[in-house]
Each structure stands twice: as C-alpha cells, then as structure tokens.
C-alpha cells in the first residue's frame, strides 16, 4: 500500500532543510540575484551542514537485510528536502556544492565503484546541444573508443552549474546512425584536456546558479567512465531497453525538479498570504465557498493546485523507493508541478499588486525563478507527450 505520510525521520529532514533555507539562504537571495555569476561562498557552509545532517541521519539504520522493509526511503527524503531548500532560494540551492543533477545520475545508474569515487564531487548534467533540445534521441556529441579510452567531441549548452562543478555527466552517441540505442552517458572530470567552458548565460531567473556552454574537442576519458553498458543492442527491443536505461536518469531527477516547483510555489503562497493578511484577507477553511471574496477564492484554488502537485511528487518518489517503474508518474508530477509553480508564483505577484512586482519583496524573484522549473529536465509539452504515450500504449515513433 502506498505511504505518503511524512515519517518522523523525513519531517526532521524537512525541518532542518527549512531552517537552512530561512536563515542561510534567504538573507543572500537578493545579493546573488543581482550579482549574477558571482560565486556564493556562503553556500559552502550550507553544503557542510547538509553533509553533517546526512551523516547524523544514517545513524541507527536497519541492517542491510532489513532494508527491503523500508517504504519511504532515499527518494522520498530527497524530494522532501528539496522542497524545503527551494522554498529558501532555488538559484542558491543549485549553487550549493554537490547539488548538481549529475550527482543524481551517478547515484541512480552508476556502478558501486563510480558512486564511491564521485561521492564527494559536484556533478553537472550535459545533455542539451545547439541543435538538440527536448529530443534527447537526437544527440550529436560523439564518443569513440580508442584503445583504453573514450574520445568525446561535441558541444553542450545550458549546462546548470557548468562552470563551478568539478564533474560532468555527458550524453553522447557511439554511432549516430544507430539512433537511440547508441546514446550513452559518460563521466568527465573538469580539467580534462579538451573540455572547456566557452560561455556563461545571462538569465531571467536562478541567477545565482551559473549556466554554461561547454565544448569537447578530442576529450579523452577512461573506458570505466561510461555509465551503464558500452554494448549497443542490435534488435529493436534491445534498443528500446538500452535508451530506456539512459532515460532512467530522468525518472529519478524529474520528481526532484517537481519538488523544486512545489517548494518555490510554497514560498510564494506563504509570502502572499502574509502580505494579504495585513489587508485583513485571511483564509478560513471553515467558510462556505459562497462567503469568500474573489481573492480568497483564488488563494483556495492555488492551495488546492499546490497540494495536488505535492502528492503527485511524493507518489513518484515512493514508487522509486519501492522499486516500481515510475516513468509515467515522474513525468506527471514534473508536468503538474512545473505548470503549478509558474501559475502560483505569477498569480501571487498579481494579487499583491505593486508590492508583488517590487524588489522590496522576493515575490517577483520567485516568479522569475519558477519559469525554469517548467523547462529543464524536459519541457511541459514533452512531459505531456510522455504521459500520453504511456496511457495510450504508443511508442515515440507512433506518437510524436
């Protein structure tokens, strides 16, 4: 039976992360929003405290033989903690050392040796290319085997944390003519000859987080740096499974991105309700709908949308913790939460009028930051397409 109740352990995770968000992230929100590309050194202390919290939470764990009984585990804890940190500041969260999406990829599909080696690194994800956005199957960056190395050539754009990270997870094709089945991901350490950051983007939101373009010119990495098998399936079913294995990364990271949207929408709702309370506009869930004002009714609707997105996100995380295929649910929560986050943050700005639009408060920043959550890790439209394929039983070639 599905368990979406927050355990005492995970409630403690949320409380600790929320405390960090409120006292060690919010005070620097405006500073690093204005100082785009300036390294937020204060986040190093947040990273240390987060690491200490993880070490403490590991004490008293059940023996390995009993771990199968755990229903709400690592994935659930991750989305709960993510929600709290995104409530603080999404851009600053993404600038915390060790919080890159590449870390999630290595932890999800890496070998025990890879996970151990890169456990303390700051890993970014390199997927998008100048000619390849939402269609991950159209990757043009190449990886060619030469002796005991992979030689990588290509260009990646919109790499979150691309300059500050020390490790990259790079998607590349072993043979472009073989389509999806030949796409693999590789671990590339920054500083490897042939790997170069070529540009930093100026952005509307999450300005505290750097977004880079990176080129790979005869960049050589060990054969052991491939995530998953280097073999290319020859039959159609094998090709589908091979690409599905690569895409499994998204099944783990999309609920995390959905949690970002849940967190930032909660931040906007909390701030808007606090500001509106000064005008004697407060929610009373005991009121009949016919007795509410237009603004109150809108706040009720937003709270309902928020709760729906939160529960979908928890469900996708619960399924991952219990070894259940959650590709559809991961896309569902990403689509729902991304859309909800955009709607709620912008509507809160509108409801608070000039104060919402002013830099005197962070509401306008929440609205700017929220837009990216509906875009990266697969756009709203792509998520809906994935869900439609799953519901209708169609392949990507049958339903485009």
Are residues 94 and 134 located together in one domain of the fold? Answer: no
**In CATH, what number is assigned to the domain containing residue 56?**
1.10.540.10
Are residues 46 and 105 located together in one domain of the fold? Answer: yes
More confident position, 243 or 103: 103
Let me know if residue 291 belongs to a domain. Answer: yes
Task: Give the domain extent around 214.
Answer: 123-233
Which of 178, 212, 233 is at the close of a domain? 233
Q: Which of 66, 305, 377, 398 is catalytic?
A: 377
Predicted confidence at residue 398, as pLDDT, reads 87
Which of 209, 233, 257 is at the close of a domain? 233
How sure is the predictor about 287, in pLDDT bands with cuts at 50, 70 and 90?
confident
Let me know if residue 328 belongs to a domain. Answer: yes
Percent of the chain with pLDDT over 90: 66
Predicted confidence at residue 242, as pLDDT, reads 55
**In CATH, what number is assigned to the domain containing residue 184?**
2.40.110.10
Chain mean pLDDT for the chain:
88
> Which tens digits make up the pLDDT trace of 90-113?
999 999 988 788 887 888 788 999
- Residue 278 annotated to the active site: no
Are residues 227 and 299 located together in one domain of the fold? Answer: no
Predicted confidence at residue 239, as pLDDT, reads 57
Give the per-residue SS3 of the chain.
CCCCCCCHHHHHHHHHHHHHHHHHHHHHHHHHHHCCCCCCCCHHHHHHHHHHHHHHHCCCCCCHHHHHHCCCCHHHHHHHHHHHHHHHCHHHHHCCCCCCHHHHHHHHHCCHHHHHHCCCCCEEEECCECCECCCHHHCCCEEEEECCEEEEEEEEEEEECCCCCCEEEEEEECCHHHHHHHEEEEEEECCCCCEEEEEECCCCCCCCCCEEEEEEEEEEEEHHHEECCCCCCCCHHHHHHHHHHHHHHHHHHHHHHHHHHHHHHHHHHHHHHHHHHCCCCCCCCCCCHHHCCHHHHHHHHHHHHHHHHHHHHHHHHHHHHCCCCCHHHHHHHHHHHHHHHHHHHHHHHHHCHHHHHCCCCCHHHHHHHHHHHHCCCCCHHHHHHHHHHHHHCCCCCCCC
How sure is the predictor about 237, in pLDDT bands with cuts at 50, 70 and 90?
low
Region 187-207 average pLDDT:
96
Q: For residue 382, is pLDDT > 70?
A: yes
Q: For residue 302, is pLDDT > 70?
A: yes
Region 351-368 average pLDDT:
96
Are residues 241 and 388 located together in one domain of the fold? Answer: yes
The pTM for the full model equals: 0.88
Let me know if residue 3 belongs to a domain. Answer: no
């Amino acid at each position: 039976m599905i368990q979406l109740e927050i355990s005492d352990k995970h409630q403690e995770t949320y409380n600790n992360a929320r405390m960090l968000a409120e006292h060690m992230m919010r005070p620097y929100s405006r500073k690093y929003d204005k100082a785009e590309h300036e390294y937020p050194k204060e986040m190093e202390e947040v990273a240390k405290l987060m690491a200490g919290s993880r070490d403490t939470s590991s004490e008293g764990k059940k023996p390995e033989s009993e771990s199968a009984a755990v229903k709400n585990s690592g994935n659930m804890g991750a989305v709960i903690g993510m929600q709290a940190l995104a409530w603080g500041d999404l851009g600053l969260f993404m600038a915390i050392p060790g919080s890159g999406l590449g870390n999630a990829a290595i932890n999800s599909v890496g070998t025990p040796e890879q996970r151990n080696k890169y456990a303390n690194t700051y890993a970014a994800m390199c997927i998008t290319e100048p000619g390849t956005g939402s269609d991950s199957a159209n990757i043009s960056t190449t990886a060619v085997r030469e002796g005991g190395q992979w030689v990588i050539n290509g260009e990646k754009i919109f790499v979150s944390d691309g300059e500050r990270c020390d490790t990259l997870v790079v998607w590349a094709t072993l043979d472009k003519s073989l389509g999806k089945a030949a796409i693999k991901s590789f671990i590339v350490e920054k500083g490897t000859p042939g790997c170069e950051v070529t540009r930093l983007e100026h952005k509307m939101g999450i300005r505290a987080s750097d977004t880079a373009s990176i080129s790979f010119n005869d960049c050589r990495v060990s054969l052991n740096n491939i995530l998953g098998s280097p073999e290319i399936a020859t039959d159609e079913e094998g090709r589908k499974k091979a690409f599905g294995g690569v895409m499994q990364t998204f099944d783990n990271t999309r609920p995390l991105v959905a949690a970002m949207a849940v967190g930032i929408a909660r931040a906007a709702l909390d701030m808007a309700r606090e500001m509106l309370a000064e005008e004697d506009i407060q929610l009373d869930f005991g009121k009949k709908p016919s007795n509410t004002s237009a603004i109150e009714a809108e706040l009720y609707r937003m709270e309902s949308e928020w709760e729906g997105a939160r529960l979908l996100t928890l469900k996708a995380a619960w399924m991952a913790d219990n070894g259940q295929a959650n590709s559809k649910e991961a896309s569902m929560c990403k689509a729902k939460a991304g859309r909800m986050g955009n709607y709620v943050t912008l509507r809160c700005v509108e409801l608070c009028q000039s104060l919402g639009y002013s830099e005197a408060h962070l509401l306008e920043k929440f609205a700017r930051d929220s837009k990216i959550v509906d875009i990266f890790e697969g756009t709203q439209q792509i998520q809906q397409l994935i869900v439609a394929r799953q519901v209708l039983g169609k392949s990507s070639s049958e339903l485009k």
